[in-house]
Structure 1
Amino acid sequence: MGTCPCYSFVGGAWGAEGKETKEEDGVEYASDDAMDLAQFLISADIRLVRAEFLWSLCEAQASIPRRQEAEDESFETPQGKQTALVRHDEVSSWAAGRCPALICSISHCWEAREHSDPCGHQLQIICDCTRLYAAAYDAPVWLFLDQTSLFQFRRTPEQDKTFKLAMSHMHLLYCHEYTMTLRVHSISSDELWEQRVKEGHLVTVYHEESGAVRALPLKDLTRNQSEYLERGWCQAEYEWSGTRGQSARNQRIDVTDEEFAFVTLRCKVPMRPEEFRKRVSGLKFTHRSDAEPVYQLQEKVFMEKITKCKHLRLEFLDYDATAELVEILSCYTSLEKIALLNFKSTDSVLKELLGCLKLMLTNNTLEDLQMEVILEEPRTDEDLPDRLIQWQGYMILDAVAGTLAKNFSLKSFRFRYNSTPNAADLAHFAVSMRKNTTLVNVDVIRPFDELSIREEDRAALPRLLEDVDSSYSFRGVSLFEDFNHCDPWVGPVLMIRKVAEQNAARLSQSMQLEEQISTRRPIWPPVKCEALAKLLKEKSAVTRLFFNNANVDDMMAEALARALKQNKTVTEIGLMGNQIGHTGAEAFAGVLKENKTLRRLNLSRNQVGVTGAQALAEALKKNSTVKSIDLDRNQIGDAGAEALSEALMVNKTVTRIGLSENQITDAGAEAFAETFKMNETVTDICLVGNQIGDAGEQALTQALQENKYAYCQIEWFRYLTPSGPASWMLGRYSR
């Protein structure tokens, strides 16, 4: 909302159990209940705005109206006229689960005292984003947009009463678990503002002197150029939005290509009230008297949301955000599930973080723990054992393993990082797990079926699984005799799998059913790839698509691929961790042959296989725009590697290719070696976790030395297996 003329804060009283109370009628509003949110919207007469109405304004180059004028507004649809504002009965139907909708609260700056967005800069951004969401979820998007959702100056006594009621609980719209915050930090540039002034641009506003709504020249408005985070209300909305249990429901939507990964996806960790007071003390409010009530409200919101939060899912934490989380994690006193996804941490901060998690596990309060850490380049110490104990992967596995003997609450532990766990670390975890009786869902390595196991050995798996016993040695990593040709992780994974099955058998059927049944309604409807594909075929401002771990199958992938053949805006696609097989990969191969804008394609952790890799390789021979392609964990084998290496002899634009854990042996490495003797463009290849031995290593090293186009250096990182040293990381060579 930012700084605007209509904001005058009215504090509310608070009740017990983390719910706030309206003094006048005693009604309580919970920040995780859809019915309570609907009741608040209706009681305070807050009208949500249909995104389609804003689209129509954008197309007509019209300005956003006040609430008073918007009540009579409508727009044309294929089904006839539709009101601009969502009716209260529709909100009630949504809360009851009869009407799907996405409720998004817009957090933005007021660019002028008289109008929030006089140049239409923010309107365009909001429309571009909401078109994408409406298509992706195939559901209507309803927006809280302060200028149109709340009665503005000048208000009647009745309007002023509902306005004050809305303001007293305004944080609900930004911290409620059934809403999402879309932030627009930017304001119109000086160039755009001056251009509009020269054009004689008129803006419809309430004219105080005449007491009427009039179209005034832009030059007559009182401009406000304060930045988003310099405004008290914007900072408050930003903080409230960061207290939700899922950090992904707080997004900035006005970023450039360069800012995208670091700004849009960065997790906002809640700030302690005392830190918030320091941060906001020097910021700008329309009324300075608003500051103290905002401080008090922030403390109440923090205590309600943080202390009552049971399920916490934070994504894309950079080093600072992880450190900030450590500072407040002890405030989350009710946590049952934690997911920290795609986070970075220094060793010292990770040690503190694991200390907090170990305390929760020791106190038997945590039921589900998921961690996906992004590791930096390997350390360069010479002594392997000394280096091994410093690895963050080892730190995490060891910390959890140390609590398993006495823990009886943890039922699920999922751990991922951009590498393959050391076999000895997995074995240590497996042995520790034997002392635990409740852990039934363990995922500490890629899916078991992706492990490199000879076909003749697969038939022996059931018998070997029965033979797992306590004689397993974890420091010596003594694998089963029948598994001499398998990945060194197979033995530990077998033991973990066996213990998990035994624990599951011990649990009563009623306990398992209780764990699976949930009466809570979904917050948002499922993603509809087919509907999104339709949008991509049309004129669209979408530049990036991320459907990671979204259960996308071949049929959905084909629908997206058909649309992307015609699309001219999307530059990056993320489809990691789905169920895309060779059919879906072949569809994207067709995209690479025709699309001229795509720069990055991520199909990691799918089932592309040899056939899919070969199709993509043929497409890369014809493509001249893609710079990065990720096919990690796709079982492409040597045949797929050979096809891709052949493609890179022809392709002149790919600079990075990810092929870790793909069952590539010396034959595949030697094929790439021949390519790298002549290739001029590839600067980064990752072959982590393959079965490349000394012959492959020698071939690649020699190829890089012979490359006549640039100086290349390759880093090697090794670990010990029962049969001796083996290549663990091959790649990250630079020119």
Structure 2
Amino acid sequence: MPLPSLIELCQQLRKKLQLKGTEILEMIGSSGEKLCLRKYDLQDPQKLIQFLLDAKIGLIRLEYLEELLSTGRRLPRRQEADGEVTAAGLPALVLPSELQKVEIDPIGNMSICVKDPSPHRVTVVIESISHAWESMEHPDPHGFQLDQIIQMCPPVTSTRSVWLFYDFTSLYQYGGRTPQQKRYFKQALDQMHTLYAHEAIKVRILDELTPETWKHPGTVMAFSDQAGGVIAVSIDQLTANSIPYLLRGWCQAERQWSRLRISLEACVPMPPDLFRRKMEEQGLRFTHHDDKEAVLKLQAQVFTEKVRTTKQLMAENLDEEALNTLCAALPFYVDLDEIVVNGNVLPRNAAVAVANTNARSFQMESCGLKDEDVEVIVASLLHCNKVEELRLARNDIGHRGLQALRELRKAKPDLYIDVQLDDQEARDGYSLNASTEMTPETAN
């Protein structure tokens, strides 16, 4: 959520309605106690496109940002960006007509057909930038974030377009907004989490502030109330904000939303109670004290909505902290069909947490599981009413583990179990070849 936009919203609501920050979330989201978060599904790419159109969000062409950097310019506000074009004559911001032409294949890939220089299909990549505002008037006065964005994002090619959401340039900002622009801003604000939690968006985290060696005297175009418009302002006259990204409450909320994905790599989204505790421990900062409860409530609702609709979950490269977070988060995934944790060394509590998800398919290959771990996994799966597949290849499973799997197989005759043990002596009637599977035909 853009920092200046949040300030403005708080000021407007407090002035007109005398609301506290803890009430703002209900006000901007719905007339009841809960936000209407489900207006835009967080899995369906078509719903994302519809949201972008409804709120008239201006996605920025990556090539436009490259041209800004190469000429020493800075990111403009949305109002000014609307009139900008690239060197090739394209609008700096993606047109609604282009969004309407985006096609989505059965696995969610987006593309668009272009005619120049000859008709061909171009893959569309949509990414969101989560960042700290380094001054109230302009988020990136030194252009450091601009440079980082260009380095992070995949390059534009003849077969790939990259469209970016960056709040300052994508949303109509404070100062001289028309009534219609205010309505579009409000629409975007109501569903801001969609731009970070949607499955079809890749989120780039800019968690580093501009290094001192990057800073130089200069001016930046910023809105001035006194001048009644955008003017050149000396950088040293801006209202600077040097609080680190990781200590900003709204930034942390965006970071958590970005982790709400089918594929988890090295990080796991925190359930609400854990997020609250971490916020307290880290002493996260807010422009207004009351915003803390607004962030907590919104994080809880977005987390709950996304995990309850997640059918597949794949986690890799999880360290001890991430595994502990996974244990806390998994009970909220109430409708999983498949869970894959291959390659993570699972402590017993994590193995049990995975087995307790009541999924249809479990994959725990190369997880360092031993006999005792397999026994507790089996104890959990005996109560799983829809399990059909269990893959435990390349674990350290011995006689006791195999015996437990045999009992599980007897209790669930249709269950497919794949252990793929290395060549060893036969144990308990099983031939432990390089690939041993217990199927309905072989495990009796």
Q: Is the 1:442–1:500 Cα contact (8 Å) retained in structure 2?
A: no
Whether 1:231 aligns to 2:248 is yes
Q: 1:127 aligns with which of 127, 150, 158?
A: 150
Structure 1 residue 352: Cα displacement? 2.4
User: Which SS does the other structure have where 2:139 is aligned?
Assistant: coil
Match of 2:206 among 160, 176, 184: 184
Mapping for residues 101-140 of structure 1, pairs under 5 Å: 101-131=124-154, 139-140=160-161
Q: Does 1:247 align with 2:264?
A: yes
**Alignment gaps of 5+ in structure 1:** 22-27, 249-265, 376-391, 446-450, 454-471, 480-488, 504-735
Q: Does 1:86 align with 2:94?
A: yes
Q: Give the corresponding residue for 2:391.
A: 414
Structure-2 residue corresponding to 1:490: 433
Alpha-carbon deviation of 1:327? 2.2
CA distance in 2, matches of 1:241, 1:183: 9
Question: Does 1:206 pair with 2:203?
Answer: no
Match of 1:369, SS?
Answer: strand
1:145 is displaced (CA, Å) by 0.5
- 1:69-116 deviations in whole A, cap 9, x for unaligned? 11111113xxx4221111223223336555342221110011111111
Alignment of 1:148-187 (within 5 A): 148-154=169-175, 155-187=177-209
* Distance in 1 between residues matched to 2:245 and 2:85, nearest whole Å: 31
CA-to-aligned-CA distance 1:500-552 (integer Å, 9 cap, x gap): 6679xxxxxxxxxxxxxxxxxxxxxxxxxxxxxxxxxxxxxxxxxxxxxxxxx
CA deviation after TM superposition for structure 1 residue 147, in Å: 0.7
Judge which range, 308-317 or 147-156, deviates more.
308-317
Aligned partner of 1:284 in structure 2 is 285
TM-score calculated relative to the size of structure 1: 0.50
> What is the deviation of 1:230?
1.3
Q: Secondary structure of 1:61's match?
A: coil
1:627-642 matched pairs, under 5 angstroms = none
Match of 2:77, as an amino acid? R
Match of 1:73 among 78, 84, 88: 84
SS of the equivalent of 1:131 reads coil
- The equivalent residue for 1:328 is 329
One-letter amino acid of the structure 1 residue matched with residue 164 of structure 2: L
Structure 2 residue 363 is matched with structure 1 residue 352: no
Shift of 1:171: 0.7
- Contact persistence 1:38–1:95 (CA under 8 A): no
Q: Distance in 2 between matches of 1:152 and 1:113?
A: 12
SS state at 2:28 partner: coil
Distance apart, 1:187 and its partner CA? 0.8
1:95/1:291 CA distance change after superposition, 3 Å? farther
CA shift for structure 1 position 313? 2.0
The percentage of counterpart residues that share the same residue type is 29
CA-CA distance at 1:355 after TM superposition: 3.0
CA contact (8 A) 2:127 2:162 kept: yes
Measured in 2, the distance between the counterparts of 1:59 and 1:429 equals 64
Say if 2:352 and 2:377, in contact at 8 Å, map to a contact too: no
Among candidates 359, 366, 383, match of residue 366 of structure 1: 359
- Give 3-state SS (helix, strand or coil) of 1:63's partner: coil
Which residue does the alignment assign to 1:31?
42
Residue-pair matches, total: 408
In structure 1, the partner of 2:371 is 394
Q: Whose relative contact order is higher, 1 or 2, with alpha carbons under 8 Å and at least 6 apart?
A: 2
Letter in 1 for 2:302: V
Is there any run of 5+ residues in structure 2 with no aligned partner, and where?
10-23, 106-110, 113-122
State the 1:318 CA deviation. Answer: 1.1
When the two chains are superposed, the root-mean-square deviation of aligned CA atoms in Å is 3.4
Give a deviation string over 1:262-281, Cα, whole Å, max 9, x none: xxxx3133232474276169
Secondary structure of the corresponding residue to residue 220 of structure 2: strand
Instruction: State how far apart, in whole Å, the 2-side matches of 1:15 and 1:307 are.
Output: 21
C-alpha separation in 2, matches of 1:170 and 1:212: 26
- Larger Cα-atom Rg: 1
SS of residue matched to 1:322: helix
Counterpart secondary structure, 2:4: coil
2:413 matched residue in structure 1 = 437
- Cα drift, residue 53 of structure 1: 1.5
Contact 2:133 2:241 in 1 (8 A): yes
Amino acid at match of 2:418: V
Closer, same or farther: CA 72–441 of 1 in aligned 2, 3 Å? farther
Using the size of structure 2 for normalisation, the TM-score is: 0.80
One-letter amino acid of the structure 2 residue matched with residue 39 of structure 1: Q
CA contact (8 A) 2:356 2:384 kept: no
Conservation of the 8 A alpha-carbon contact between 1:12 and 1:168: yes
